Amino acid sequence: MLGNKVLRSTLFVGMLALAGLTLSFEASAACQLVSSNGGKPLNIKPVDSDTPQAKEFLETCNNPYTKIYVKDPEAAKAGRKVMTLNGCTGCHGGKLEGVMAPSLRKDGGQGAFDTKWAYEKHNTDKGLFETIAGGGANPGVSSAVMPTWHNQVEGHAGDGLTTDEILKAIAYIRTQYHGDGEKVWLK
């Protein structure tokens, strides 16, 4: 009797473990975004209107526009347009040189974050996406706060941006980087 019970519970535990394994496989297939404001999961889902590039990013954490824009200034204009139309340049400057917010060129300026990223994770496109989509820490690392932009994130500025628009802005920011060190995002 006892033997049977032990067997049954062992089987049950085994099945639970298998179910857990399947679940974690499913979860790890997608890019796990976290908020730059507290580190909670940033829940951005693919939608029907997403471009193939947006879908690829949400699946792999890889921004396909980065390598294209770095080689092709004409294509990079699409990212610049996102930033001028949405007022990013109002705070970060027309040349991203930093005005009321840190420089995104990182080639010098007045502030502590005009030569290095305010958040170390901004060495990756995933990290930049997390801060642009879900906003910066509050209070911000540089003491001012970066607003929230993704249209799926509560409290976003204006009409909000799509995943694709944010990826284009990021790829454009990469073309404007003039700071030191390895350009890890090109790997």
CA distance 125 to 107: 19
CB of 126 to ligand HEC, least distance (A): 12
If the CB atoms of residues 68 and 91 are measured against ligand HEC, the closer one turns out to be 91
Angle at 49 between CA 187 and CA 136, to 5 degrees: 55
If the CB atoms of residues 58 and 113 are measured against ligand HEC, the closer one turns out to be 113
If the CB atoms of residues 3 and 57 are measured against ligand HEC, the closer one turns out to be 57
CB of 53 to ligand HEC, least distance (A): 16
CB of 172 to ligand HEC, least distance (A): 8
- For binding to ligand HEC (CB under 6 A), which residues are involved? 83, 86-88, 90-92, 100-102, 104, 113, 117-119, 122, 128, 131-132, 136-137, 140-142, 144-147, 149, 169, 173
If the CB atoms of residues 14 and 39 are measured against ligand HEC, the closer one turns out to be 39
